Amino acid sequence: MFFFRLGRKQRRDELLQEQRRSTAQQLVPGSVHSERMERCKNCCKSFTTFIFSRVGLCLLVVAYAFGGGVVFQFLEANAEDEKANKVQQHLDITVDRLLQHSMNSSYLHPDTWMHAAKIILEDYQKDIVKQTKRGYQGERSVDDTKQWNFPGAILYAITVITTIGYGHITCQTNYGKIMTMIYAIFGIPLMLLCLANIGSTMADAFRFIYCNICCSYCNMVKKRRNLRALQSVELSRNASSSIPQSSMGTTMNSTSVQPPVANLEQPAPTNVVEFVDNLSVDYRKVTIPISVTLSLLSSYLILGAVLFSEWENWNFLDGAYFCFVTLATIGLGDLVPGKSITSTQVEGKLIICALYVLLGLSLMAMCFNLMQEEVRAKFRRLGNKLGIIDDPNFW
């Protein structure tokens, strides 16, 4: 939900950097001491820029997730053990009751026994269901892995900071709940910052690739056309170059009329190459069409769907549904890899799921970044056409 704000934060950072550059002051040359201070300051500056730069943030997020995994596992593993013990206890109690009942009945009559046993077993069933709703998932016969193992705890931490929130495992202790809240308060802004940075980096890289590889042909054609146009303009300009300069002297008084007229034309280029360079496409300003970004997203979705449906024996629609719900950070939690009682190699699956989530969210941030301009331009055009919007500064 907070992705919408990502673009604004990133633009704010860019604006800040621009302003800093434009208002940079000249440093007064001073003594050696001040030079050392300057070096120290520069060192600190570069250090903090690294911390807030792309790589630093990513590492910070990963470390935060790891740390969260450790903390949550520490807090919840004991509770899980206790719960498993309780379930086992209940099993024992049920068996006891059955046997007791059999012992008490002096003569084993099937019907009455059945009736009593039914009550006991239904009790047992209710208890299992209650435990299942609270997250108990039975003991796997293949490998006796607990729920709150380390990869599980990491996945839990990641679902908290990305606000996905599956809910297939949740903190049962009070300490766990409070820790979850504190972890989320600091983790969610950190994650958003990281995603904003990564999104802008990847968007730039993608624009660069798109421009230079996919559009090189278009660029060449445009350049050739512009070159020809420029040459014709140059010829006409040279022919009538004497006239404007003579009129310049006579109309000194009416200065207000001249400059706008002169400025309506292109500024006189001194060099043909310069002119062509100015016209060549700056990759930063290219807007990627929406179809490209949408196809990128859907291909990632389909890849995830194929992967997870293969592993978990879901059908393809279930896999696509899971991937969509995860990437949109809805996180319903009805389908989670490694959750069902029949799945194997749970730890590996959890790690892969965590990686898929992180990569998918960065991809989403990048596509948001790329799509914003297009969508706004389209809405503005639509609004202008419909006559709702008067000035182009509405959006």
Q: Is 125 in the site for another protein (CB under 8 A)?
A: yes
User: Residue 224 Cβ, how far from another protein at the closest point, in Å?
Assistant: 27
Q: Is 99 in the site for another protein (CB under 8 A)?
A: yes
User: Residue 343 Cβ, how far from another protein at the closest point, in Å?
Assistant: 11
Q: Is 142 in the site for another protein (CB under 8 A)?
A: no
Q: State which residue, 227 or 286, has the beta carbon closest to another protein.
A: 286
Contacts by 276-285, CB closer than 8 A, 24 or more apart: 276/223, 276/226, 276/227, 276/230, 279/222, 279/223, 279/226, 280/219, 280/223, 281/211, 281/215, 281/219, 281/222, 283/204, 283/207, 283/208, 283/210, 283/211, 283/212, 284/204, 284/207
Q: State which residue, 118 or 225, has the beta carbon closest to another protein.
A: 118
Nearest alpha-carbon partner for 113 in 101, 95, 121: 101
Contact predicate 62/157, CB 8 Å: no
Enumerate residues 261-320 that contact another protein by CB under 8 A. Answer: 262-263, 267, 285, 317-318, 320
Q: Is 233 in the site for another protein (CB under 8 A)?
A: no
Contact predicate 112/105, CB 8 Å: yes
Nearest alpha-carbon partner for 79 in 179, 181, 175: 175
Q: Is 95 in the site for another protein (CB under 8 A)?
A: yes
Q: Which amino acid is at 2?
A: F
Enumerate residues 150-169 that contact another protein by CB under 8 A. Answer: 159-160, 163-167
Q: Is 107 in the site for another protein (CB under 8 A)?
A: yes
Q: State which residue, 139 or 347, has the beta carbon closest to another protein.
A: 139
User: Distances in Å between the alpha carbon of 228 and those of 271, 276, 277?
Assistant: 14, 11, 14
Among 232, 254, 271, 291, the residue binding another protein under the rule CB under 8 A is 254
Q: What is the CA radius of gyration of the chain?
A: 33
Residues 6+ apart with CB under 8 A from 287: 370, 373, 374, 377
Among 66, 210, 283, 324, the residue binding another protein under the rule CB under 8 A is 324
Contact predicate 192/269, CB 8 Å: no
Q: Is 256 in the site for another protein (CB under 8 A)?
A: yes
Enumerate residues 334-393 that contact another protein by CB under 8 A. Answer: 334, 340-342, 372-373, 376, 388, 390-391, 393
Enumerate residues 2-61 that contact another protein by CB under 8 A. Answer: 2-5, 7-9, 11-12, 14-16, 18-20, 22-25, 41, 44-45, 48
Q: Is 331 in the site for another protein (CB under 8 A)?
A: yes
